[in-house]
Amino acid sequence: MDSYMTVKGQIVIPSKIRRKFGIREGTRVQVDMDERAHRIILTPVTRDYIQKLRGKYKGKGLLTALATEKKRERER
């Protein structure tokens, strides 16, 4: 599926994909890069995504992990 970039740098994610991943208006999206594969990775931050993170940051706590991610975003 193709999509186009607007003048403001926005893209439209096709409705089929939005439904599959539970993306609604206001859903946060994590943006990462895979420079080796020359790809941009969009990850919707939904309840399902947060549930899948359980245990991944064991010992750090979810708030600490989210604060670390937010700091990394600001440094970009």
**Total domains in the fold of the chain:** 2
Taking CB atoms within 8 Å and a gap of at least 24, the contacts of 32-39 are none
**Residue ranges making up the domain that contains 67:** 46-76
Buried b / exposed e over 35-72, threshold 16 CB at 10 Å, is: eeeeeeeeebebeeeeeeeeeeeeeeeeeeeeeeeeee
Could you tell me the two tokens for 51?
A: 């549930």
* Pair 40, 73 in one domain: no
* Pair 7, 24 in one domain: yes
* Pair 39, 73 in one domain: no
Single pTM value for the model: 0.59
Q: For residue 11, give the DSSP letter.
A: B
The one-digit pLDDT tens for each residue of the chain (76 residues) are: 889 999 999 999 999 999 998 899 999 998 999 989 899 999 898 888 777 777 666 665 667 777 787 888 777 6
